[in-house]
Amino acid sequence: MDETITGTKKVGIFKRLYNWVLSFADSPFGTPALFIFAMVESSFFPIPPDPLLVAMCLGAPARAIWFATVCTTGSVIGGALGYAIGFYFIDSIGMKIIELYGLSGKYDDIRVLYEEWNALIVLVAGLSPIPYKVFTIAAGAFKVNFFTFVIASIVGRGLRFYIEGFMIYHYGPPIRSFIDANITKLSWTFAFLLVAGFVAIKVFAG
């Protein structure tokens, strides 16, 4: 099949999934949907929960911090599921998911990152636009300490979702265009500052 046609179909499927996720923003099932989407995105689902989180926060700014809490909790639990997939099923389910995101060729590079930085990579992946699920699965496959993994997931995912929730809680609907235009840049900036801080600690500690 022509690669252009295949790519167009994938974009179409992605867009339909995206719109389906957003449709829950005005639904009475919005909060449980946010939890579920945040959970499955951390282990296999392609659509991040951020668009639904932002839409729900805009619909009820006073509950923005609560929505961020729901999103963080679901994501951390989903990350644990991804860890279990990597720990027990890396050669079957785990590698298929990694291949789906076109990162099977980077698997050894990810291994090196874990050997060097351990769960810090989980923290950075949780905060940045990197496909988080790939790193949760890899963490299980490479036997990263589970307790450390969970703490890193809480910090990384929490920072990402609480920043979004706090911005809407504090500034309201006018901040939406700024978030939409700059969320990737903001995520990478915070991730960079986080890594820089850990590197500085490592250097000065010895």
Domain that holds residue 17: 3-205
Q: How confident is the model at residue 92 (pLDDT cuts 50, 70, 90)?
A: confident
**Looking at the 3D structure of the chain, how many domains does it have?**
1
Q: How confident is the model at residue 2 (pLDDT cuts 50, 70, 90)?
A: very low
Average pLDDT over every residue of 56-80: 93
Whether 200 has a pLDDT exceeding 60, the answer reads no
Q: How confident is the model at residue 125 (pLDDT cuts 50, 70, 90)?
A: confident
Cβ neighbourhood burial of 22 (10 Å; 0-12, 13-18, 19+): middle
Q: How confident is the model at residue 184 (pLDDT cuts 50, 70, 90)?
A: low
Q: How confident is the model at residue 45 (pLDDT cuts 50, 70, 90)?
A: confident
* pLDDT score for 206: 41
130-148 per-position pLDDT tens digit: 778 888 999 999 999 999 9
H-state helical runs in the chain: 3-22, 30-41, 50-59, 64-89, 95-100, 107-117, 120-127, 132-141, 146-171, 176-205
- Its pTM stands at 0.80
The rounded distance, in Å, linking the Cα atoms of 26 and 79 is: 26
* pLDDT score for 1: 46
Euclidean distance between the first and final Cα of the chain, in Å?
Answer: 56
